[in-house]
Amino acid sequence: NSFWKNYHDLATLNNFTETMVQQFPDLVTRTSMGFTYEGREVFGMTIHGYKKRRQMEALEELVEEVEELVEEASSWWSWMFGSSSSSSKLNVLKKPSKPKKHPKAIVIHGGQHAREWIGPAVVSYIAKELILGYGNSKKITRLVDQFEFTIVPVLNVDGYAYTWEHNRMWRKNRQPTSIPFCPGIDPNRNWGYKFATGGSSANPCSDAYHGPEAFAAKEPKMIADYILKKENVVGYIDFHSYSQLWMTPFGADCSKIPKDDEDIVEAGMGAAKALKDVHGKKFAVGSVCKIIYQASGGSLDWTYAEGGVKYSYAVELRDTGLHGFLLPEDEILPSSEETFAGVLHLANFIRKRE
Supply the residues annotated as catalytic.
Answer: 316
Do residues 311 and 350 touch, judged by C-beta distance below 8 A?
yes
x-or-dash string of contact with Zn ion, 145-184, rule CB under 5 A: ----------------------------------------
Under the binding rule (CB under 6 A), the answer on residue 314 touching ligand 0X9 is yes
Under the binding rule (CB under 6 A), the answer on residue 327 touching ligand 0X9 is no
Beta bridge partners, 284, equal 245
Q: Which stretch binds ligand 0X9 (CB under 6 A): 62-70, 150-158, 296-304, 328-336?
A: 296-304
At residue 5, the 3 state secondary structure works out as helix
Residue closer to Zn ion, measured from CB, 116 or 148: 116
At residue 258, the 3 state secondary structure works out as coil
Using CA atoms, how far residue 260 sits from 2, 175, 236, 309, 310, in Å, is 40, 36, 14, 11, 7
User: How far apart, in whole angstroms, are the C-alpha atoms of residue 263 and residue 269?
Assistant: 10
User: How far apart, in whole angstroms, are the C-alpha atoms of residue 156 and residue 147?
Assistant: 25
Query: Which partner from the list Zn ion, ligand 0X9, none does 251 bind, CB cut-off 5 to 8 Å by kind?
Result: ligand 0X9
Residue closer to Zn ion, measured from CB, 122 or 143: 122
Q: Is 232 exposed, middle or buried (0-12, 13-18, 19+ CB in 10 A)?
A: middle
Under the binding rule (CB under 6 A), the answer on residue 295 touching ligand 0X9 is yes
Q: Which stretch binds ligand 0X9 (CB under 6 A): 126-134, 275-283, 293-301, 341-349?
A: 293-301
User: How far apart, in whole angstroms, are the C-alpha atoms of residue 16 and residue 152?
Assistant: 12
Residue closer to ligand 0X9, measured from CB, 49 or 199: 199
Determine the straight-line distance between the first and last CA of the chain, rounded to whole angstroms: 33
Query: Which partner from the list Zn ion, ligand 0X9, none does 278 bind, CB cut-off 5 to 8 Å by kind?
Result: none
Do residues 264 and 311 touch, judged by C-beta distance below 8 A?
yes
x-or-dash string of contact with ligand 0X9, 175-204, rule CB under 6 A: -------------x----------------
Under the binding rule (CB under 6 A), the answer on residue 288 touching ligand 0X9 is yes
Q: Fill in the amino acid letter for 58.
A: A
x-or-dash string of contact with Zn ion, 89-118, rule CB under 5 A: ------------------------x--x--
Query: Please, what is the minimum distance in Å from the beta carbon of residue 52 to Zn ion?
Result: 35
Do residues 122 and 315 touch, judged by C-beta distance below 8 A?
no
Residue closer to ligand 0X9, measured from CB, 234 or 247: 247
Q: What share of the chain is helix, strand, coil (3-state, %, to 5)?
A: 45, 15, 40
At residue 206, the 3 state secondary structure works out as coil
One residue of 52, 172, 221, 240 binding Zn ion per CB under 5 A: 240
Which DSSP helix (H) or strand (E) runs through 235? strand 233-241
**Interface ranges with Zn ion (CB under 5 A):** 113, 116, 240
The site for ligand 0X9 (CB under 6 A) is made up of 113, 116, 188, 240, 247, 251, 288, 292, 295, 298-301, 314, 316
